[in-house]
Amino acid sequence: MICIKDLILKLQARVRYYGYLYYSLNTSRISDSRYDFLVEKLRFLEKKYHNLLLNKDSPTLTIGAPVIIGLKKCQHITPMLSLNHVFDIHNYLKFDKKIKDFLKDKYISFCCELKIDGLALNLIYKKGILLKAITRGDGMIGEDVTNTVRMISSIPRQLQGINIPNKLEVRGEIFMLKSEFIRFNNEASRSHAKVFSNTRNAAAGLLRQKTIKNHIVKNLMFCCHGYGYYPRYTNSCNHYGRLKQLHCWGLPISGYNSILESHLDILDFYKKIKNIRNFLNFDIDGIVIKVNSIVLQHKLGFMSRAPRWAIAFKFFDQEKTSKVLKVIYQVGRTGVITPIAKIDPICISGVIIKSVSLYNFREIEKLDICIGDFVKIKRSGDVIPKIINVIKGYRSKTIKKIIVPTFCPVCKSVLKIDCRYSKIRCVQGLKCKEQLKKSLYYFCSKNGLNIYGLGFKIISKLVDNNFIKKFSDVFNLDSNLLVRLSDVGKKLANKIINSINQSKEITLSKFLCALGIKEIGSIKSDIIAKHFLSINNLINSTFQDFCSLKGIGFKAAHNLFNFINEESNKNSIIGLSKTLNISLYNTHYNITKADSNPFFQKNVVISGSLSSFSRIEVINLIKKMGGRVMSNVSIATNYIIVGVNPGQKFYKSKELNIKILLEHCFLDIVKTFYIDKKF
């Protein structure tokens, strides 16, 4: 036994010594594989003879795998700030102007850098030796990742050169190369280990891991882009100079850092970097522009969490890679089943994305997408995220095909495949709880009866607990039930019930619109109501009757006829017609010539969306002011109200020389003639 004890202690000393050479002095006397062998041997012996209790101070606790390290919290010497960011030229120019106005100088030098998409890291060096490596955390306190960082080859354990300060805080980005990421994931997938969805997640996962995998961590990269505590006696008085000094001491810095003055040169730098972005072997998400002079940086100072002297100019129209974890099926209001890809969460332009719609099965086929695939996701402008393509090079053997569902995920009925529209539908109508919930939500929303406070959450609970089985059940609710069931207070419950009671007075047109039939919006509902005059007439009409209506196309007629003749819908409509007081005109709709305003007896068309009102609110306002809302532009049109993203109607109105009202003009009219005069 004495022999074994000696052997273990000697081996510990050897591993400690080689580890010191390797991790602290950045040199080695033996090959990596020999070192790994010694560590493994030591670990084996310590485990086998654990009764000797020799592993208390063993180097196996701080190096190599599998050592569990709890990530301790650790304070930065100086706070680690973040960056304010802009996404467009306009806002970048605002930053540039602010700086120049504040400093009262047109000629300011900026250090322009790449914004590497990794994790911020703070390295504390004492007398040139790496003492601590801390993640950003909340900016004041981060996690101690020193043991892991000591293994990263691109981070020196000891600084080289002259004038090395006693104490130094180095800030930079830790990241994984794209090529390394592919290699790492391929290996992980072969051995059924965890694969990461992008380089940033991979770097974060490896850096913060509890079980240190020496050979993997070693290949993480580091790029220094700043400093925290930096002694004044070092003679670099600008940011660029300081980075170069850090480089002389052995820290890696980016070769793309550039000193630029004019905003035109900076915009050129931005464009150039954006163009080469895909050719770089690491991910970046923008550029960082920093005032170069340290004196001017001090003059400009900080805001709460970011300096005034720097800005991240991010790439907006951004693509990111993530992994499809699973596919779920969503039942829409009209029964259409939409496949939704659940992905490993990613952040694109400041928004966390966890789900992406796959639209339909034709799209799935077109993309040739499987569960487990890596996909490129794009979020252009302010719109919904979209999968652009599958990265076939990352595809592993463990991927699974996306199966077309046979049963509705909610009501379990057999789904119907609609080949013409490549859509799959649940044809149970309002018998399917999900369709009932969504239809009810629409029915009660601003587009429908405009019932105050009855949101999707409350409706869901009411449906799930069978208090609402059909639309007309809404009118039998009482406030006690709402309080009991849905965590709403008594006051709100009373308000909801009052609003429900008020909504019982409704016009036929509004009622039709509230049903949420596809393509039957407010304008078409008006046409239908004026023609059929009552619910009774409506439900007894034929498809031909609907088709012959002016302003109602084939598709709309088809949707209307199908909806009304679906059994559960028909029963619901009949039930509602008994509960509600459906009239042809609104009793408050009382306009005389004396009230005239620009819209009185005029034909108005709306194109694009307005930021102040929903479409239905605009229509109602115009109607209340005595105007007529038309769906299409013709020579009979008097006004066109134009919002954001106007379409064909707008261009046609220009050709016909129709008076255009932009949103603010429309608002002025509404204010003057509707709100102020209490129309």
What residues act catalytically?
A: 115
Q: Is 341 in the site for ligand IVH (CB under 6 A)?
A: no
Dump strand ranges (E) for 39-156.
73-75, 85-86, 110-116, 119-126, 129-135, 141-143
Whose Cβ is closer to ligand IVH: residue 345's or residue 350's? 350
Which residue stretch of 62-70, 109-117, 383-391, 428-436 sits at the interface with ligand IVH (rule: CB under 6 A)? 109-117
Report 224-283 residues binding ligand IVH (CB under 6 A): 225-226
Q: Which of 288, 296, 424, 552 binds ligand IVH (CB under 6 A)?
A: 288
**Sheet strands (E) in 552-598:** 581-583
Residue 374 near residue 394 (C-beta atoms within 8 A): yes
Number of residues in contact with ligand IVH under rule CB under 6 A = 15
Nearest of 406, 430, 431 to residue 416 by alpha carbon = 406
- Gap between the Cα atoms of 211 and 119, Å rounded: 19
Comparison of 155 and 402: residue with beta carbon closer to ligand IVH: 155
Tokens 């180095």, residue located: 170
CB nearer to ligand IVH: give 313 or 561: 313
Q: Please say whether the beta carbons of 284 and 277 come within 8 A.
A: yes
How does DSSP classify residue 122? Answer: E
Minimal distance in Å, beta carbon 353 to ligand IVH?
A: 18
- Residue 33, C-beta contacts closer than 8 angstroms, at least 6 positions apart: none
Task: Give min distance, CB of 124 to ligand IVH, in A.
Answer: 16
Q: Which is nearer to ligand IVH, 115 or 379 (CB)?
A: 115
Nearest CB to ligand IVH, comparing residues 42 and 116: 116
Give yes or no for residue 113 binding ligand IVH (CB under 6 A): yes
Instruction: Give the footprint of ligand IVH on residues 38-97 (CB under 6 A).
Output: 81-83
- As a 3-state breakdown, the chain gives helix, strand, coil percent values, each rounded to 5, of 40, 20, 35
Distance CA 191, CA 653 (A): 64
Query: Which residue, 116 or 576, has its beta carbon nearer to ligand IVH?
Result: 116
**Could you tell me if 446 and 616 are in contact, meaning their C-beta atoms sit under 8 angstroms apart?**
yes
Q: At its nearest, how many Å lie between ligand IVH and the CB of residue 82?
A: 5
Residue with Cβ nearer ligand IVH (318 or 577): 318
Residue 116 lies near ligand IVH (rule: CB under 6 A): yes
Q: How far is the CB of 351 from ligand IVH (least distance, A)?
A: 15
408 burial (CB, 10 Å; 0-12 / 13-18 / 19+) is buried
Q: Which residues pair with 326 in a beta bridge?
A: 342
Binding mask 457-496 for ligand IVH (x = CB under 6 A): ----------------------------------------
Distance CA 470, CA 149 (A): 62
Closest contact distance (angstroms) between CB of 115 and ligand IVH is 4
Peptide bond before 345: cis, by omega within 30 degrees of 0? no
What lies within 8 Å, CB to CB, of 16 at 6+ separation is 59
- The residue within the footprint of ligand IVH, chosen from 54, 120, 506, 513 (CB under 6 A), is 120
Binding mask 293-312 for ligand IVH (x = CB under 6 A): --------------x--x-x
CA 50, 53, 58, 61 torsion-angle sign: positive
- Interface with ligand IVH in residues 129-148 (CB under 6 A): 136
If one asks whether residue 373 binds ligand IVH (CB under 6 A), the answer comes out as no
* Interaction of residue 115 with ligand IVH, rule CB under 6 A: yes
Contact region for ligand IVH (CB under 6 A) — 115-123, 181-189, 406-414, 522-530?
Answer: 115-123
List residues near ligand IVH by CB under 6 A.
Answer: 81-83, 113, 115-116, 120, 136, 173, 225-226, 288, 307, 310, 312
